[in-house]
Amino acid sequence: MDELIARVAQAAGIDPEVARKAIGEILAFLQKEGPQAEVAQLLEKLPGGVDMAAAAASTESTGGGGLMGGLMGMMGGGGGLMGLAGKLTGLGLGMGEMQAVGKELFAAGREQAGEDVVGQIAGAIPGLGQFI
């Protein structure tokens, strides 16, 4: 897990703790929005993936998500990529950093789980392709 966090933090130029939280948010999003079998494969193959997704999902259910997450919730939003972007913005990430985190995380996913698994996940979630 530490290797993945360090890899993502370096690629995006962000603090490792922010990278850890961002990875968790993305994995929790995939778990919620993506094809279950493929996401389960990805989470099992990524070191610490299951735990990171679970930690982010438990934060979500207890009212996490920062200012943007709160605003999206009040507006009745919070779902899909917009909801994820709001959570990542709440962590202090800009669009370029979000894309760097996504590209590096999915590169690691391809290495660990394979191109087919990642491709099926990306194909099932509209708009995800721009982040991987």
End-to-end CA distance of the chain: 20
pLDDT at 75: 41
Tell me: pLDDT of 116 over 50.
yes
Q: CA-CA distances (angstroms) from residue 3 to 61, 64, 65, 87, 120?
A: 28, 26, 25, 23, 25
Task: Kindly write down the DSSP assignment for every residue of 49-96, as one continuous string.
Answer: HHHHHHHHHHHHHTT-SHHHHHHHHHTT---HHHHHHHHHHHTT--HH
pTM of the model: 0.85
Tell me the residue type at 7. R
Tell me, what's the pLDDT at 91? 97
Given this model, what pLDDT does residue 60 score?
63
pLDDT in tens, 37-81: 999 999 999 989 999 999 998 876 544 444 444 444 444 345 789
In this structure, is the dihedral angle defined by the CA atoms of residues 121, 130, 103 and 66, taken in order, positive or negative?
negative
pLDDT in tens, 72-114: 444 434 578 999 999 999 999 999 999 999 999 999 999 999 9
